[in-house]
Amino acid sequence: MPEADSRHHDREMLEQLAALDANSPEREALRAALIERHLPLVHFLARKFMDRGEPLDDLVQVGTIGLIKSIDRFDPSMGFEFSTFATPTIVGEIKRHFRDKTWAIRIPRRLQELGVQVSKAREELTHALDRSPTPAEISKKLDIDVSEVIEAIEANSAYNTVSIDGGNAEDSPSLGDTLGAWDDALDNVEYRESLKPLIAAMDEREQTILLRRFFDNKSQSEIAAELGISQMHVSRILNKTLTQLREALSS
Amino acid sequence: MATIHISVPAQAEYVGLVRSTSAHVAAQCDLTMDQIEDLRLAVNEAFAFLVDPTSDSNIDITFVVDGSTLSITLKSSHTAQEPDRNSFGWTVLSALVNEVASSRNEHGRIIIELTAMAGVSA
């Protein structure tokens, strides 16, 4: 079917669906057919979030929930193309999945909350002291035990990092373009050639953090300030990228 | 001065235990949060050099807290390869702690020693 006809057919189906009574027996079949017809859109969008630590199947599954919601909510009288309407909803479901499901280990709520408090105190103290605080300083500020401060760091790093707003491998500039300035520093690294494609496959923010930390020798706090994100976020990204590199280089 | 010893199988799944212990011990010697985070990454890298999935040997780790200095010694109990100074892992390790050294002792064991000092950035 030519594309224009296909779109026209979609529109007819959607108009029929909107006109049908919620309990109508035809409704189920029509809805199922519409879902089926738009699964390629879900696959297309889910693939954009690949390589962020979640299986593609799971992303397709949550994306499909977004598609179903879109079909149920679509109002043909608004005059939008269905795909224009559905895309943000599908992407929204996928992003929500990353937000909700990516604690690699289930962290008790108490520790999650402690993590947030410690993170906040850490940022405030970093600002006040103009250096990274010690666990003792944080424990004093929050009136908690030093070991709880450490537990909070531990709990935070169990979070499986995914950067939702980063680019993907296709969109990111190739590292060949950005690496020039660091070539001297990298010269002595034997793995340089095998490292390059691995770093190039990371998103731009991961690349920046890795290079700032290890080739510009910036502290995590300095990088956090430069990128306008929390130090905890920098820490997670470093943890994740180093693990990825180590695994890729040793395999 | 306080000394803590732990010994764990030379398997990747034990790295969390070692990393966690490092962070708790580091809190005893006034290291900053940034330094502790770096130390955890460094311990990860050092442990990764000594992991041997094919062996049933252990890695012995000794933490020594001496005032504001923390030394961590990781010793493989098998004849592992000495870490390559030009490898990426070593570059990372060197950037994360104040001092890092590796050697082979008279029994052929590989020893990696990391030192972090309070008030001195890596």
Beta bridge partners of residue B7, listed in sequence order = B60
Say yes or no for a CB contact (<8 Å) between B88 and A238: no
Asked which of A150, A178, A206 is the last residue of a domain, the reply is: A178
- Is B98 inside a domain boundary? yes
The predicted model gives B15-40 an average pLDDT of 90
- Is A134 inside a domain boundary? yes
Say yes or no for a CB contact (<8 Å) between B30 and A134: yes
As a whole number of angstroms, the distance between CA B20 and CA B36 comes to 10
8 A C-beta contact, residue A152 and residue A117 = yes
* Type of residue numbered A61: Q
SS3 category, A3: helix
CATH number at residue A11: 1.20.120.1810
Lowest mean pLDDT among A34-38, A170-174, A224-228: A170-174
- Is A184 inside a domain boundary? no
Query: Which residues of A are less than 8 Å from B68 in CB distance?
Result: none
Q: Which of A135, A188, A246 sits opposite B33 (nearest CB)?
A: A135
pLDDT on residue A19: 83
End-to-end CA distance of chain A: 46
As a whole number of angstroms, the distance between CA B107 and CA B45 comes to 23
- Is B92 inside a domain boundary? yes
Residues in chain A: 251
Say yes or no for a CB contact (<8 Å) between A243 and B33: no
Residues A58-89 as b/e (b if ≥16 CB within 10 A, e otherwise) read ebbebbbbbbbebbeebebeeeeebeebbbeb
pLDDT on residue B78: 67
- Tell whether A71 and A86 lie within a shared domain: yes
A230 in contact with B, Cβ within 8 Å: no
As a whole number of angstroms, the distance between CA B122 and CA B117 comes to 8
As a whole number of angstroms, the distance between CA A109 and CA B101 comes to 40
Cβ count near B61 (within 10 Å): 25
Provide the residue range defining the domain that includes A196: 189-250
Lowest mean pLDDT among A40-44, A50-54, A133-137, B6-10: A50-54
Q: Which of A135, A147, A217 sits opposite B36 (nearest CB)?
A: A135
With a pLDDT cut of 70, the percent of chain A lying above it is 76
A106 — pLDDT class (breaks 50, 70, 90)? low
Is residue B111's pLDDT more than 80? yes
A145-162 pLDDT tens trace? 999 999 888 877 654 333
DSSP states of A163-204 as a string?
-TTS--TTTSPPHHHH-GGGHHHHTT-TTHHHHHHHHHTS-H
A188-229 pLDDT tens trace? 444 456 677 777 778 888 888 888 888 777 888 888 888 888
**Nearest-CA distance from A239 to chain B in Å?**
7
Is residue A49's pLDDT more than 60? yes
- Is B122 inside a domain boundary? no
* Type of residue numbered B39: L
Contact residues, chain B to chain A, C-beta under 8 Å:
20, 23-24, 27, 30-38, 40-41, 44-45, 48, 84, 86-89, 91-92, 95, 118, 121
- Is A166 inside a domain boundary? yes
Complex ipTM: 0.81
The predicted model gives A156-184 an average pLDDT of 38
- Tell whether A173 and A212 lie within a shared domain: no
- Is A117 inside a domain boundary? yes
**Nearest-CA distance from B36 to chain A in Å?**
9
Is residue A79's pLDDT more than 70? yes
- Is A183 inside a domain boundary? no
CATH number at residue B24: 3.30.565.10
Asked which of A142, A159, A178 is the last residue of a domain, the reply is: A178
Average pLDDT, chain A: 76
pLDDT on residue A61: 92
- Tell whether A33 and A97 lie within a shared domain: yes
Q: Report the residue of A153, A198, A223 to disrupt the B interface, i.e. the one with the largest count of B CBs within 10 Å.
A: A153
DSSP states of A124-157 as a string?
HHHHHHTSPPPHHHHHHHHT--HHHHHHHHHHHH
Lowest mean pLDDT among A15-29, A89-103, B7-21: A89-103
A251 in contact with B, Cβ within 8 Å: no
Closest CA to A110 of A150, A158, A151: A151
The count of structural domains within chain B is 1
Query: Which residues of B are less than 8 Å from A135 in CB distance?
Result: 27, 33, 36
Query: Which residues of B are less than 8 Å from A190 in CB distance?
Result: 84, 86-87
A198 in contact with B, Cβ within 8 Å: no
Provide the residue range defining the domain that includes B11: 2-117
As a whole number of angstroms, the distance between CA A140 and CA B82 comes to 42
- Is B34 inside a domain boundary? yes
- Tell whether A12 and A91 lie within a shared domain: yes
**Nearest-CA distance from A5 to chain B in Å?**
56
8 A C-beta contact, residue A149 and residue A138 = yes
Asked which of A147, A178, A209 is the last residue of a domain, the reply is: A178
The count of structural domains within chain A is 3
As a whole number of angstroms, the distance between CA A219 and CA A226 comes to 11
DSSP states of A223-249 as a string?
HHHHHTS-HHHHHHHHHHHHHHHHHHH
CATH number at residue A147: 1.10.10.10
B77-104 pLDDT tens trace? 766 778 888 777 788 888 889 999 999 8
Closest CA to B90 of B52, B45, B40: B45
8 A C-beta contact, residue B77 and residue B10 = yes
Is residue A100's pLDDT more than 70? no
Q: Which of A149, A214, A243 sits opposite B91 (nearest CB)?
A: A214
**Nearest-CA distance from A217 to chain B in Å?**
7
Query: Which residues of A are less than 8 Å from B44 in CB distance?
Result: 239, 242-243, 246
